[in-house]
Each structure stands twice: as C-alpha cells, then as structure tokens.
C-alpha cells in the first residue's frame, strides 16, 4: 500500500492523524479517489444515502461588520440593502413547508435593526406555526444572554463559522473591531446553552496556509460541532480582497472528505459556494462525504442582493422552488433527499 493509502486507512480507523500526515493528504491529489471513497463509505454507514435539506432564508443583508472578504460588509456602498419583515419571513416558511422543508435557517448580516425581542418574536411565531420543524439561526456574534433568549424562544440550532482559528490569520481577514477570542467565546456559549452548533471556515481565503487549515481541524476537534460548513472563498470585487484569487474546488472536496472521516456523525453541507465555483460542485461535495443541502427560500426579489461573493448561484436548481430538479440531481448522484427534521445521528 502506498503512503497516502496508509494515511487514509489510518484516518478512517482512528478519526485523527498527526499534523504531517494531514499536510501530506491536503497537498496531494494523487489519492483523491481513495479519500472520497473512504469518506463515502463512512457516510453511508451512518447516514445511508440520505441527504437532509434546509430552507435558507436570508432575511437581511445589512451588516455592522466590515469583514474584508464579504460582499455585504458595511463599507460596500454599492450593495443594495434589504430587510424582510416578520410576515415576509413567515410566508417564506409557509412556501418552504409546502415544498417539504422541515428545517428553516434564518441567516443575516449582523443587523441591530432586529432587536433580541424581535428575533425572539420571529422565532416563536415560526415555532408556533410550524411545530414539527427545527429552526436554525445564523445571525453572528451576540451575548450569551441573547443566545439564551433565542434558545428559550425555540431556536435550537446555530451556525457561526469560526472562519479561521489562527490569531494572525483572523486579523488578516477582519478589522480590529473583531476578535477570534470573541468568536470562540460565542461558539462555546452556544454549546453550553444547548444549541446544536455549526462552525466552519472558508477554503483558500487570502493568506490561508496549510498550517492554518490544520489549526482549523484542531479547533473543530476541540469544539466538536454537530454541523461543519466549509466552502471555497470566492472573490468579491467590492471588497478590499478584490485582487485575491478564489479558493479551489479540489481542496474543498478533499477537506469535506477529511472532515467526514474525523467527524463521522457530523452534518456537513455541500455548500452554495461549492456549487458556485463549479456547475457540479454540490454533487461532487455529496460524493466526497457531505450530507446536507441548503436551498434558497428567500423571496426571489431579494435573492440576488445577498451577495456574499460574486456570481452566487440563486435562481437555478439551488432555489428551493426547484426542489424537484434538485431531487433528480441528487438521485443521479446516488443519494436521496429526505424531508425530515434531519437531526445529527449520535454515536451509541
């Protein structure tokens, strides 16, 4: 057996590797097929061919933050801003429910227009009307008491990517007003409160090194999240990073497979960013070990405005309304979409 094959076997058996073995795996494409098959084997053992779907509602693109990579950063004056009302959000859920969605993800920029009281009101209204559904929030860094209030109102899942777990890299991607320490504080608070927590990072973000990626894997091992979202960094012209190149699909797929082998039970989405850099990106993500897809349920009129990065797909098969086409594509890849609340399975 050659060296990379041994490394993959070791990772499959032990769910971990020494740093140098991770580096070898990340820097070589020779063993990709073996790696993807090993990840697929593990996902099939635990999740079969099931793919969970989440209806993503991007309810505000106002943001008080100024992350250097993000198209909806505060200083992007050419972004056309919007906010959805509670009624609009509820009607997205109604539409999603009829399409078969049983999880809704409310995502937005960090927008103080929505007070904690408003968020709690939206959350509890959704839970009241759709009592057999799970509600996920993805609205950034908040205080522990705010997170507790949302949880008590009925939100049980929270997505907050750590973006990078290296201090220096974190400062290269964010203005001084933000800190890795606070990001991590948020994630551990969320866990302590009882949320199912999702974290993750961008692949190929400016200045990212292989060592940074190893630190990201180590941080995720420490956090042990239920969900792990990764996608390629994609350049946006109206950001300070306009001249950096986008991340690669190959490395993203390799990382999805590695994450599946480290975290056999995790919910790992095949992300919109992956579908944006390659027309078959999302199918390839599933084959590499991902088991979640998050179609867009935002109203068509605002969908184009939630531009975290350029050319973000939003009107084709990734739109929730195209669920039939998505089902066909997923089936053609050898998997099956499940309309179910889709909780993470637990090791017994």
Q: Which residues bind ligand 5AD (CB under 6 A)?
A: 69-70, 161, 163, 202, 231, 233-234, 236, 273, 308-309
Query: Which of 47, 45, 39 has the alpha carbon at shortest distance from 343?
Result: 47
Query: Which of residues 100 and 240 has its CB atom nearest to ligand 5AD in the complex?
Result: 240
Smallest separation, CB 67 to ligand 5AD (Å): 7
Query: Which of 186, 184, 170, 214 has the alpha carbon at shortest distance from 68?
Result: 170
Give the end-to-end CA distance of the chain in Å, rounded to a whole number.
32
Smallest separation, CB 70 to ligand 5AD (Å): 4
Smallest separation, CB 202 to ligand 5AD (Å): 5
Q: In degrees to the nearest 10, what's the CA dihedral of 299, 303, 304, 305?
A: 100
Q: What angle is formed at CA 285 by the lines to CA 61 and CA 333, rounded to 5 degrees?
A: 120
Smallest separation, CB 232 to ligand 5AD (Å): 6
Query: Which of residues 43 and 236 has its CB atom nearest to ligand 5AD in the complex?
Result: 236
Question: Is 90:40 a contact under the CB 8 Å cutoff?
Answer: no
Query: Which of residues 247 and 264 has its CB atom nearest to ligand 5AD in the complex?
Result: 247
Query: Which of 10, 28, 72, 2 has the alpha carbon at shortest distance from 239?
Result: 72
Q: Tell me which residue has its CB nearest to ligand 5AD.
A: 309
Smallest separation, CB 60 to ligand 5AD (Å): 13
Query: Which of residues 11 and 202 has its CB atom nearest to ligand 5AD in the complex?
Result: 202
Note the Cα 146 to chain centre separation in Å: 22
Distance CA 295, CA 102 (A): 12
Smallest separation, CB 306 to ligand 5AD (Å): 9
Residue count (the chain): 348
Smallest separation, CB 239 to ligand 5AD (Å): 7
Tokens found for residue 311: 């050319």
Query: Which of residues 47 and 309 has its CB atom nearest to ligand 5AD in the complex?
Result: 309
Smallest separation, CB 37 to ligand 5AD (Å): 27
Distance CA 322, CA 96 (A): 11
Query: Which of residues 282 and 327 has its CB atom nearest to ligand 5AD in the complex?
Result: 282
Question: Is 265:345 a contact under the CB 8 Å cutoff?
Answer: yes
Residues 6+ apart with CB under 8 A from 262: 11, 15, 16, 217, 220, 221
Tell me the β-bridge partners of 137: 106, 158
Query: Which of residues 48 and 279 has its CB atom nearest to ligand 5AD in the complex?
Result: 279
Query: Which of residues 196 and 235 has its CB atom nearest to ligand 5AD in the complex?
Result: 235
């Amino acid at each position: 057996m050659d060296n990379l094959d041994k490394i993959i076997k070791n990772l499959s058996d032990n769910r971990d590797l020494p740093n140098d073995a991770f580096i070898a795996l990340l820097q070589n494409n020779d063993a990709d097929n073996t790696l993807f098959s090993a990840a697929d084997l593990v996902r099939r053992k635990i999740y079969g061919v099931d793919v969970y779907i989440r209806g993503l509602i991007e309810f505000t693109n106002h943001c008080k933050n100024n992350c250097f990579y993000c198209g909806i950063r505060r200083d992007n004056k050419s972004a056309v801003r919007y906010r959805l009302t509670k009624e609009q959000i509820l009607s997205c859920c109604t539409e999603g429910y009829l399409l078969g969605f049983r999880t809704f993800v409310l995502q937005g920029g960090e927008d103080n227009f929505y007070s904690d009281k408003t968020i709690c009101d939206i959350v509890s209204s959704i839970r009241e009307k759709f009592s057999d559904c799970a509600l996920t929030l993805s609205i950034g860094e908040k205080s522990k008491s705010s997170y507790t209030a949302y949880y008590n109102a009925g939100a049980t899942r929270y997505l907050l990517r750590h973006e990078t777990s290296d201090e220096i890299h974190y400062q290269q991607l964010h203005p001084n007003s933000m800190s890795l320490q606070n990001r991590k504080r948020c994630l551990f608070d969320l866990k302590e409160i009882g949320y199912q927590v999702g974290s993750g990072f961008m692949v190929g973000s400016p200045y990212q090194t292989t060592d940074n990626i190893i630190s990201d894997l180590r941080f995720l091992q420490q956090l042990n999240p239920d969900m792990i979202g990764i996608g390629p960094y994609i350049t946006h012209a109206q950001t300070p990073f306009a001249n950096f190149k986008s991340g690669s699909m190959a490395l993203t797929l390799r990382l999805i497979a590695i994450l599946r082998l480290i975290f056999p039970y995790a919910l790992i989405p095949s992300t919109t960013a992956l579908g944006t850099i390659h027309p078959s990106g999302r199918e390839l993500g599933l084959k590499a070990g991902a088991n979640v897809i998050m179609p867009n349920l935002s109203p068509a009129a605002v969908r184009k405005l939630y531009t975290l990065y350029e050319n973000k797909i939003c009107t084709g098969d990734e739109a929730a309304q195209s669920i039939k086409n998505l089902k066909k594509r997923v089936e053609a890849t050898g998997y099956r979409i499940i309309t179910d609340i889709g909780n993470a399975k637990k090791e017994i």
